[in-house]
Amino acid sequence: MKYTIELRNVWKKYTIGKEDVIILKEIDLKIKQGDFAIIIGPSGSGKSTMMHIMGLLDEPSWGKVYIKGLDTTKFRDNKKAQIRGKTIGFVFQQFNLIPTFTAFENVKLPMEILGLSEKKANERAKYLLSLVGLKDRMNYKPTELSGGQQQRVAIARALANDPEIILADEPTGNLDSVSGNFVMNFLKNINKQGKTIILVTHELSLINYASKIIHVKDGRIIKEGG
């Protein structure tokens, strides 16, 4: 069976000064298409590093990372960037929007990078911002938007190239409960439409959204369930 994402015996080591620090140990994980997987654990447990490796933003020190059956550890950086651009959308706790761009320009940018026509990129950016309830905020810059609105822009941007996988790292961490509920319900809705969602959090209250729960502690998966 081909999994959407598979980690095989993944380890991650950083060298700080003269000391080696092991962040991830013996990670084996399989994510199927259509899963809503939540990776939960305390701060410093290695869950964000695991997500960065799954999203090809970082490389394992040892082990294999498969995306849709392809061994990405053999790929050059430009091939990994191509997979990220087409297959994976990212949502971060800090939003990571370009401050000098409007909401519309932030959402349109990933499509421009992949070479979508101006007309199609404009239409899809408008559609996605309408989808997240920001049709009347398209020309606002991030500093003119609330935290919840900025995260909605970030979600629209993540969906720009219609990726199969959404990776969300603490997407509700900087939001009030109303904005957080909007984000989680929106992610659940697009999951029902076939998107694979992998979400990192330390908030136990979010696990009710999950079809698969991965508990991480001290760099290891200590419990896994559907």
3-state secondary structure 70-98: EEHHHCCHHHHHHHHHHHEEEEECCCCCC
Query: With 0-12 CB in 10 A as exposed, 13-18 as middle and 19+ as buried, what is 37?
Result: buried
> Does residue 23 lie within any of the structural domains?
no
pLDDT band at 197; cut points 50, 70, 90: very high
Whole-model pTM: value is 0.93
Q: State the average pLDDT for the chain.
A: 95
Q: Which domain holds residue 210?
A: 35-59+81-225
Query: In this model, does residue 186 exceed pLDDT 90?
Result: yes
Is residue 217 in some structural domain? yes
Pairing of strands 62-67, 5-16: antiparallel
User: Is the per-residue pLDDT at 167 higher than 80?
Assistant: yes
Please state at what angle helix 147-158 crosses helix 177-192, rounded to 10 degrees.
20
Does a structural domain hold residue 40?
yes
Q: Residue 6 falls within a domain, yes or no?
A: no
Residue 142 sits in a domain whose CATH number is 3.40.50.300
CA distance 35 to 12: 25
Q: Does residue 74 lie within any of the structural domains?
A: no
Nearest-10 Cα torsion for 58, 91, 70, 112: -100
Q: Please indicate, yes or no, if residue 28 is contained in any of the structural domains.
A: no
Radius of gyration for the chain, computed over Cα atoms and rounded to the nearest angstrom: 17
The answer to whether position 183 is within a domain reads yes
State pLDDT tens for residues 76-132. 999 999 999 999 999 998 999 999 999 999 999 999 999 999 999 999 999 999 999
Separation CA 45–CA 137 (nearest Å): 37
Handedness of CA 127, 54, 193, 86 (dihedral sign): positive
Residues above pLDDT 70, as percent of the chain:
100
Q: What is the dihedral of CA 142, 144, 149, 152, to 10 degrees?
A: -30
The count of structural domains within the chain is 1
Does residue 111 lie within any of the structural domains? yes
